Structure 1
Amino acid sequence: MNNKIEWIALDWGTTHFRAWAMGAGGKVLDQVKSDQGMGSLTQDQFEPIFLSHVQPWLEGRTHPLSAFACGMVGSKQGWIEAEYIATPCAPPRNEQLVQAPISDPRIQVFIVPGLSQFKPADVMRGEETQIAGFLASMPNFDGVACLPGTHSKWVTISKGVVKHFTTFMTGEMFGLLSKKSVLRHSVAGRGWDNAAFIAGVKLSMDTPESTAQELFAIRPQSMLHGLPANEARARLSGLLIGAELRATEHLWSSRDVCIIGDPKLTEHYNKALEFYNCKATIADGDMMTLGGLHATAVSAMEQAS
């Protein structure tokens, strides 16, 4: 298999490591995943951990293999800093990649920089590659991209250029409230109730000023009225996503919308938007990451040859 590997795709975030061995035409030949995110590493650990994961793909190599990486691996605390590119701009191009230091002559690593916005201040790392992958498949898209996650992004795109973006801590807030707050006992488990989710969305959309109150209300409703955990969990998610949708209504109510991310998350956001008659295009986050890295890799390798 090794002689069929043309390059390596790498998504190295704060909490995860994901690498794919890529063949001709962007075909995935093999993959490896771990929880060795860059957030728990020291500077001298990046190269050995990376090599430990991709070592089988390097055996018998006579020419250097190129790896193209995105995510927090390019932050100040990462392998090497890939400084942000200021918007408005197109997704990063191959000439903007930053090469990471590595001692193994069988491989070279190039990191995609993130994007920054001066006013209002905002930054992204990793999402720019998903946007690049989406635009590679839909180059004429003109609208707003929603990228739900720990820190959800809403990105205005026109003529292949990222014009503006804004970030919400929705995913992180859900994690903190469901695991570390007074609500943790009420929402325990992994159950789900769609009706409770939509009810939460509607509450935050209709009366955003009461969202904090409605969040606490989950606890007494659970204690005094027996609110089931699956309903409580879905209601919590709905309240937080509803607040996000209320703040971005001026974006999604009048533009084409695409939602890029994990299938479960994109499903929740899509159901909420559908309730308000907004039809969105759905794209798998992993596939868009690979698409963006593939476009970068092909351009870089063509230029090198």
Structure 2
Amino acid sequence: MTAASYAAVDWGTSSFRLWIIGESGKVLAERRSAEGMIAAGKTGFSTVLEAHLAAISAPSHLPVIICGMAGAKQGWAEAGYLDTPAPLAGIVKAAIPVKDDHRDIRILPGLAQRNEAAPDVMRGEETQLLGAMAELGGGSHLVCMPGTHSKWVRITDGTVEGFSTFMTGELFDVIAKHSILSHAVAEGGHFDSTDAAFLEAVAQAAKHPALATNLLFTVRSGQLLHGLSAKAAKAKLSGTMLGLEIAGALAAARPTGDSVSVIVSGGLTELYRDALSALDLNPAIIDADDAVRHGLAAAANAIWPA
């Protein structure tokens, strides 16, 4: 650990990710756990952080840069929000210090859209956007950031002009477990993003978003009347939710003519890629883990220049 330069932490609501970064920018060590804001609020943020740093023998003086829910009102220390339109470079200047006797710890702020008709907030995604700018480049971009609460962000030359949050993942979970559709999808298991039921549902929902609740009910009625399998029912529910999200995001962003980029990792990659491709929106895919590390690196290098 003698070559370590800083520790980078992405602290979510239910997840914790830490990387030790060397002087060359290389990842020297990594830690992941389910000790997000909710768990850390009970255990103690400093206790959680120091336990992970000790587990990989990180130096006691190593500085730490943090993004995400550790900076929320209910987190370690409130980092506040920058108001849109917000240059992404500005989040570095607004980082707040955390009082600590042993090391220099900074938490990056989130972004807020204070439009009374469309209020919105993000925390953590702004750091991914900062890290993705090298791949996005200049000009105008529409960026999708999938998750439990997906973000669709409008960026022009490195400035976040505005964004919209869609509760797609959370609503899918609620509907699949606690509505009448739970009977249709209970035994669905895994489905592929190229499944015809998924892609057709994406297309129908994107074309007819006003029929949202009707389209959702056809997951059940299609099974009762036409023998729709549980797997196809689950694919149809997922495709309907994604199609509605995309329709809403494009309505909020257009007319722009912007390309669509998706910052994503894991199983959602194929779902969003194929859903967007089915609507002739062939997206550029940017790895979310790489993006957040690059964003944290940009902040660390600005705060603690070599």
TM-score of the alignment, normalized to the shorter chain, above 0.5: yes
Q: Which amino acid aligns with 2:263?
A: I
Question: Which of 275, 278, 288 matches 2:278?
Answer: 275
CA distance in 1, matches of 2:227, 2:153: 40
Q: Report the equivalent of 1:298.
A: 301
Q: Report the equivalent of 2:104.
A: 108
Question: Which of 141, 163, 166 matches 2:164?
Answer: 166
Q: Which amino acid aligns with 1:15?
A: S
Q: Does 1:69 align with 2:70?
A: no
CA distance in 2, matches of 1:263, 1:44: 28
CA contact (8 A) 1:191 1:229 kept: no
CA distance in 2, matches of 1:44, 1:229: 41
CA contact (8 A) 1:43 1:77 kept: no
CA distance in 1, matches of 2:23, 2:178: 46
Deviation per CA, 1:92-114: give whole Å up to 9, x if none.
443211112334x1x32211100
CA contact (8 A) 2:92 2:303 kept: yes
Q: Report the equivalent of 1:38.
A: 37
Equivalence map 1:236-255=2 (5 Å): 236-250=237-251, 251=253, 254-255=257-258
Q: Does 1:80 align with 2:77?
A: yes
Q: Which amino acid aligns with 1:258?
A: S
Q: Closer, same or farther in 2 for the Cα pair 1:154/1:273, shift >3 Å?
A: same
CA distance in 2, matches of 1:36, 1:249: 35
CA distance in 2, matches of 1:232, 1:114: 37
Q: Report the equivalent of 1:209.
A: 210
**TM-score where L is the length of structure 1:** 0.91
Q: Does 1:286 align with 2:286?
A: no
Equivalence map 1:85-104=2 (5 Å): 85-91=82-88, 92-103=90-101
CA distance in 2, matches of 1:219, 1:36: 37
Deviation, 1:43, is 6.6
Identity %: 37
Q: What SS class does the counterpart of residue 44 from structure 2 fall into?
A: helix
Deviation, 1:263, is 3.9
CA distance in 2, matches of 1:14, 1:100: 19
User: Where does the alignment leave 5 or more consecutive residues of structure 1 unmatched?
Assistant: none
Q: Which amino acid aligns with 2:106?
A: F
Deviation, 1:224, is 4.6
Q: Which amino acid aligns with 2:81?
A: Y
Q: Report the equivalent of 2:176.
A: 178
Q: Closer, same or farther in 2 for the Cα pair 1:27/1:217, shift >3 Å?
A: same
Q: What SS class does the counterpart of residue 278 from structure 1 fall into?
A: coil
- Runs of 4+ in structure 1 off by over 4 angstroms are none
Q: Closer, same or farther in 2 for the Cα pair 1:25/1:190, shift >3 Å?
A: farther
Q: What SS class does the counterpart of residue 244 from structure 2 fall into?
A: helix
Equivalence map 1:6-155=2 (5 Å): 6-42=5-41, 45-58=44-57, 61=59, 64-91=61-88, 92-103=90-101, 105=102, 107-119=103-115, 120-155=118-153
RMSD: 2.0
Q: Does 1:192 align with 2:191?
A: yes
CA distance in 2, matches of 1:225, 1:102: 63
Q: Which amino acid aligns with 2:68?
A: G
Count of aligned residue pairs for this structure pair: 298
Q: Closer, same or farther in 2 for the Cα pair 1:277/1:44, shift >3 Å?
A: closer
Q: What SS class does the counterpart of residue 303 from structure 2 fall into?
A: helix
**TM-score where L is the length of structure 2:** 0.91
Deviation, 1:233, is 1.4
Q: What SS class does the counterpart of residue 130 from structure 2 fall into?
A: helix
Q: Which amino acid aligns with 2:212?
A: T
Q: Which amino acid aligns with 2:299?
A: T
Range 181-190 or range 212-221, more displaced: 181-190
Q: Report the equivalent of 2:155.
A: 157
Q: What SS class does the counterpart of residue 190 from structure 1 fall into?
A: coil
Q: Which amino acid aligns with 2:217?
A: F
Question: Which of 250, 256, 260 matches 1:257?
Answer: 260
Deviation, 1:257, is 1.3
CA contact (8 A) 2:7 2:63 kept: yes
CA distance in 2, matches of 1:101, 1:179: 43
Q: Which amino acid aligns with 1:18?
A: R
CA contact (8 A) 1:8 1:20 kept: yes
CA contact (8 A) 1:261 1:283 kept: yes
CA contact (8 A) 1:99 1:108 kept: yes
Q: Closer, same or farther in 2 for the Cα pair 1:43/1:85, shift >3 Å?
A: farther
